[in-house]
Amino acid sequence: MEDIENISKIVPDTSAIIEGIITKLIKENDLNYPEIIVPEAVVAELEYQTNKGHLIGRKGLNELKNLQKLAESGELAISFTGKRPNNYEISLSKTGEIDAIIRDIAKSELATLFTSDKILSEVAKAQGISVIYVEQVDKSQSELTIARYFDDETMSVHLKENVVPMAKKGKPGNINLVKLDSKPITYDYLEKLAEEIIEKSRHDFKTYLEVDEEGATVVQSREYRISIAKPPFSEGMEITAVRPVAEVSLEDYRLSDKLMDRLRNSANGILISGSPGAGKSTFAQAIAKFFSEDMNQIVKTMESPRDLQVGDEITQYAPLDGDMEKTADILLLVRPDFTIYDELRKNHDFAIFGDMRLAGVGMIGVVHATRPIDAIQRIAARVELGIIPSIVDTTIYIEDGEIKAIYETNLTVKVPSGMQEADLARPVIEVRDFETGDLKNEIYTYGEQTIVMDVDLVQSDKGSDGQKTKSAVDKIVEKEVIRAVKKVAPKANVKAELVSNDRIKIYVNERFIPKIIGKKGKRIDDLERKVGISIGVEPFESLKDEDLKKDYSSNDNRNYNNNNNNFESSFNDPIEDEEFEITYEISNKHLSLNMGYEHIGDEFDVSVNGEYLFTGTVGKKGLVRLKQGLEITDILLDAIDMDVPIMATFRHGNY
């Protein structure tokens, strides 16, 4: 660094303030009362970062406070000058807008620019501005303080203010939460740890700032994934660090020769599923190593955040500009043999996975699931039925660090299990146990619903009284018919009773029968075509079960006119708290809620599990369309995944 003792005016940029360069120079050199001219652009940028909850903003403001203290003690003079940039200019800081303002001030003040930004330094020199570049100290090899909490058995460390430090130790299937100390952690201590972690991300090229939002920061530092939470995101400050316990290979899982042959020759769409902490990511790392090293193939990963521990030959990609779809576009140009997508959560994740697989890229997806079939079911709710085997051919379910189930999928045309009529034949996805070939599940469409049927539950059984009970298929048929009838007459109470494999009888409030049958029977014909079964319609009065008859009749009596004990002649009066289940359609761009043509323009409240979500208005074609990617859409899709019904209550006065 050139001699700075004779420098009288200093203009620091944002990096110089954050790194604390000025206070260091004053302590290390005998400067003669220098004048520190801080651009308002620097203050604005630090304020913006702090308001966003970014720790580097707070660090920079603390440095300005230190400079003020030095000014009060007579060691320097400090002033603030220049234009204060607006939010738009600050948002363009990466394009050089803020740097240009700082250079202009240094030039107009005939001052020396201090910076740790190499590019800013070179541009200033090119413009003839006096500049001193202070290279940042290499801290890439320094160990983080939080790493000292880990030993060979530690999976994760949990530090929270006013709570003793905790750690999870062991391996998947045998994990224990243990206390590391008897003394609670303080906020100040956590803040110092957080600053150290953020600082390392500025110096270590293998430490990535994956998420940096108000109150929430996620850093991937080599083998550690570190999450920092603070108010307003959390009620107190907390730091959680996670690290893989051990590196494993496929040999450790003792896979059968049959499965190894499939992985080598024909498995191109693989889902790795399991509950949190089951060992999914560890197995994904092992399979990535197998394809890369043993099969000599090009392997990439798509992660948010990047926390898989893989070899240097495997490139790990994050969401490009915050969008994993852009990352996928790049990968399609790179054309890897296999890509690991960790993790598939939301609808667009599954869509990207499917698009890449259909484009010919081998895909391995990691999915949260509590049953072996859950991963396939989540795919089935988001893509066309016929292309599922083209997207997913092998599903591996992990539990307690071990493989508990392996499924394969195939497309056939057949009558689904539990149905007998030849005209009910349809495309069916068969999900079979890979090792034994046993049929476990069938996926097919019935009416407007995608059914994921557990084959073991299909067969009818005998009740304790010797009477034949309803099979799972019987219940699905009845439920689908009720759905269809409710779309025509949302206010109607409906009971369905399967009479035979090709006929079902429904019981409804008598006043709704004409509406369900329609003019010249057209509406009932449409319903029969949609559900694929003959429908008979009868009033509740014809029910043989007196208790059921009484229940439905009492419900319907709410709508009698109190004066003449007759039904109101008009159907325009609402039923208090009347609620019904909504059917839906899923596409790549929308989740469409089907409300029926007769309710175009009506308003309704949507709820899941009794929790109100939003009020909507029925649009054209009797639909309410929600864009994919919206938070409310994701909530509804999660409900669909868990087979939780979406309920609608029409607003009073809209009938």
Residue with tokens 């949190």: 276
My answer on whether omega of the bond before 343 falls inside 30° of 0, hence cis, is yes
Tell me the one-letter amino acid at 604.
Answer: F
pLDDT value of position 567:
34
Whether residue 458 has pLDDT greater than 80? no
Is residue 417 within 8 Å of 453, Cβ to Cβ?
yes
- Cα–Cα dist 307/242, whole Å: 9
Q: What mean pLDDT do residues 576-582 have?
A: 65
593: which strand partners?
584, 624
Q: Which of 181-190, 404-413, 522-531, 561-570 has the lowest mean pLDDT?
A: 561-570
Whether residue 100 has pLDDT greater than 50? yes
Phi-psi region of 430 (alpha: psi -120 to 50; beta: other; left: phi over 0): beta
pLDDT value of position 286:
93
Give the pLDDT band of residue 10 (cuts 50, 70, 90): very high
Give the pLDDT band of residue 562 (cuts 50, 70, 90): very low
Whether residue 634 has pLDDT greater than 90? no
Q: Which of 4-8, 264-268, 536-540 has the lowest mean pLDDT?
A: 4-8
Q: What is the dihedral of CA 423, 429, 432, 437, to 10 degrees?
A: 60
pLDDT value of position 609:
78
Residue with tokens 């920079």: 60
Q: What is the dihedral of CA 109, 114, 120, 121, to 10 degrees?
A: 100
SS (H, E, C) 631-654: HHHHHHHHHHHCCCCEEEEECCCC
Q: What mean pLDDT do residues 614-640 have?
A: 84
Is residue 299 within 8 Å of 314, Cβ to Cβ?
yes
- Cα–Cα dist 59/380, whole Å: 48
Q: What mean pLDDT do residues 359-364 have?
A: 95
Integer-rounded Cα radius of gyration of the chain: 32
pLDDT (tens digit per residue) in 495-509:
888 877 678 888 888
Give the pLDDT band of residue 559 (cuts 50, 70, 90): very low
Q: Which among 485, 507, 452, 474 is positioned nearest to 581, based on CA atoms?
A: 485
pLDDT (tens digit per residue) in 132-142:
998 876 665 67
Give the pLDDT band of residue 434 (cuts 50, 70, 90): very high
pLDDT value of position 574:
36
Is residue 358 within 8 Å of 390, Cβ to Cβ?
yes
Q: Where are the alpha helices (DSSP H) in 290-387?
A: 324-334, 347-358, 374-380
Whether residue 466 has pLDDT greater than 90? no
Is residue 36 within 8 Å of 67, Cβ to Cβ?
yes
- Cα–Cα dist 528/43, whole Å: 70
Whether residue 468 has pLDDT greater than 70? no
Whether residue 228 has pLDDT greater than 90? yes
Is residue 483 within 8 Å of 475, Cβ to Cβ?
no
* List of residues 6+ apart from 183 with CB closer than 8 A: 164
- Cα–Cα dist 304/287, whole Å: 19
* List of residues 6+ apart from 351 with CB closer than 8 A: 382, 383, 588, 628
SS (H, E, C) 215-242: CEEEEEECCEEEEEECCCCCCCCEEEEE
* List of residues 6+ apart from 365 with CB closer than 8 A: 270, 271, 272, 340, 341, 342, 343, 344, 353, 375
Using a pLDDT cut of 70, give the percent of the chain over it.
Answer: 86
Q: Which of 78-87, 194-203, 232-241, 646-655 has the lowest mean pLDDT?
A: 646-655
- Cα–Cα dist 638/152, whole Å: 37
Average pLDDT, the chain: 83
Give the pLDDT band of residue 557 (cuts 50, 70, 90): very low
Whether residue 19 has pLDDT greater than 70? yes
Helix (H) or strand (E) holding 190: helix 187-203
Whether residue 188 has pLDDT greater than 80? yes
Total Cβ atoms within 10 A of residue 457: 14
* List of residues 6+ apart from 651 with CB closer than 8 A: 574, 602, 603, 604, 605, 615
Whether residue 575 has pLDDT greater than 50? no
Q: Which among 445, 415, 419 is positioned nearest to 502, based on CA atoms?
A: 419
Helix (H) or strand (E) holding 346: none
Length of the chain: 655
The number of angstroms, rounded, from the C-alpha of 63 to the middle of its chain's C-alpha atoms is 38
Phi-psi region of 115 (alpha: psi -120 to 50; beta: other; left: phi over 0): beta
Whether residue 333 has pLDDT greater than 50? yes
pLDDT value of position 573:
37
Is residue 510 within 8 Å of 541, Cβ to Cβ?
yes
Q: What mean pLDDT do residues 330-340 have?
A: 93
Helix (H, G, I), strand (E, B) or coil at 572: coil
Is residue 264 within 8 Å of 255, Cβ to Cβ?
no
Q: Which of 97-111, 342-356, 485-499, 550-564 has the lowest mean pLDDT?
A: 550-564
pLDDT value of position 448:
64
pLDDT (tens digit per residue) in 253-298:
889 999 999 999 999 999 999 988 788 988 999 999 999 999 999 9
Q: Which of 148-157, 373-382, 496-505 has the lowest mean pLDDT?
A: 496-505
- Cα–Cα dist 457/479, whole Å: 16
Residue with tokens 């599923």: 273
Copy the structure tokens of residue 73: 């003690």
Q: What mean pLDDT do residues 538-555 have?
A: 62
Q: Where are the alpha helices (DSSP H) in 29-139?
A: 40-51, 55-72, 87-91, 97-108, 118-126
Query: b vs e for 306-319, b when ≥16 Cβ sit within 10 Å of the residue's Cβ?
Result: bbbbbeeebebbbb
- Cα–Cα dist 204/416, whole Å: 57
446: which strand partners?
449
Is residue 229 within 8 Å of 215, Cβ to Cβ?
yes
Whether residue 583 has pLDDT greater than 80? yes
CA distances (Å), 560 to each of 377, 512, 556, 653, in order?
44, 14, 8, 17
